C-alpha cells in the first residue's frame, strides 16, 4: 500500500505515521526527518536545506525528488510506503505519481488530518523530539519516557513566528493537493486530527483497505 499523510504542520502526521508504519509493516518516508538528518550530518544537501527549514519555506523540489527517489529504491519500501510531509506542492505530487507509475504502483489512499491553527500553535510549543530515534512527543499530550526525556530537543522551526509562516506555506502550496487527489479518483479520508492520538489511529486503521 502507498499512502499519503496530508495535513498542516503539527497536525500529527509524524505521530500517526510512526504508529501506522508499525501496524502495516511498511516504512514511513518523512522528508522533514530526512532533511533534519542531513542538516545534522552537515552534508551538502543539509547545508542547502537549512536556510529554507529555519525560515519555514519549502526546500527546492529537485533536492526532495532525488532524496525520495533514492529512498524508494531501498528494499524495505518494495511493498509500499507511508509518505509523510511529501508531496508538498503540485510539482512534487506529479513527480511522485510518475515515480510510482515507473515501478507499477500508485497512491492507494490519502489520509488528511484536519486540525485548526490554534491547536497547532499549542502543539508546536510543547513538541519534543528524540534526536536518537526521531520519535516525537508532547510535554502534555504524549510525554517522553523519563529515561530519554533529558535528551529530547525542541525543533528550531517550532517558534511561533516560523510556525505561522509554515502554516501560510501549507495553505498556499500543500492544501490544494486534497483536491488534486480527489480529482484523480484517489480515496481521500478526512479525519478530525484534534482527538486523542489512539482515537485518530483507530479511525485511520478503520478506513484503510485491509
- Binding site residues, ligand AP5, CB under 6 A: 7, 9-15, 31-32, 35, 52-53, 56-59, 64, 85-86, 88, 92, 123, 126-127, 136-138, 141-142, 157, 166, 193, 195-197, 200
Q: Is 155 helix (H, G, I), strand (E, B) or coil?
A: coil
Nearer to ligand AP5, 108 or 164 (CB): 164
Cβ proximity to ligand AP5: between 25 and 51 the closer is: 51
Q: Please, what is the minimum distance in Å from the beta carbon of residue 25 to ligand AP5?
A: 20
Least Å distance between CB 19 and ligand AP5? 10
Are the C-beta atoms of residues 83 and 56 closer than 8 Å to each other? Answer: no
Sheet order of strands, 28-30 included:
28-30, 81-84, 2-7, 109-114, 188-192
The answer to whether 122 is a known catalytic residue is no
Nearest to 55 by CA among 169, 171, 137: 169
Longest Cα separation, the chain: 47
195 is a catalytic site residue: no
28 is catalytic: no
Instruction: Output phi, psi for 108, to 5 deg.
Output: -90, -30
Residues annotated as catalytic are 13, 88, 127, 155, 166
Amino acid at each position: 500500500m502507498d499512502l499519503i499523510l496530508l495535513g498542516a504542520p503539527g497536525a500529527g502526521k509524524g505521530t500517526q505515521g510512526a504508529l501506522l508504519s508499525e501496524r502495516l509493516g511498511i516504512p514511513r518516508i518523512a522528508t522533514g526527518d530526512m532533511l533534519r538528518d542531513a542538516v545534522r550530518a552537515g552534508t551538502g544537501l543539509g547545508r542547502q536545506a537549512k536556510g529554507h527549514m529555519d525560515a519555514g519555506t519549502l526546500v527546492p523540489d529537485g533536492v526532495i525528488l532525488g532524496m525520495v527517489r533514492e529512498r524508494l529504491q531501498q528494499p524495505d519500501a518494495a511493498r509500499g510506503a507511508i509518505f509523510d510531509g511529501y508531496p508538498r506542492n503540485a510539482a512534487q505530487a506529479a513527480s511522485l505519481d510518475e515515480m510510482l507509475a515507473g515501478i507499477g504502483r500508485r497512491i492507494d489512499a490519502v489520509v488528511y488530518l484536519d486540525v485548526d491553527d490554534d491547536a497547532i500553535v499549542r502543539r508546536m510549543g510543547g513538541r519534543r523530539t528524540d534526536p536518537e530515534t526521531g520519535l516525537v512527543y508532547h510535554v502534555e499530550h504524549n510525554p517522553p519516557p523519563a529515561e530519554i526525556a533529558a535528551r529530547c530537543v525542541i525543533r528550531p522551526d517550532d517558534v511561533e513566528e516560523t510556525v505561522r509562516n509554515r502554516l501560510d506555506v501549507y495553505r498556499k502550496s500543500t492544501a490544494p493537493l486534497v483536491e488534486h487527489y480527489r480529482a484523480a479518483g484517489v480515496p481521500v479520508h478526512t479525519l478530525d486530527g484534534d482527538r486523542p492520538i489512539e482515537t485518530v489511529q483507530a479511525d485511520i486503521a478503520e478506513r484503510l483497505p485491509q
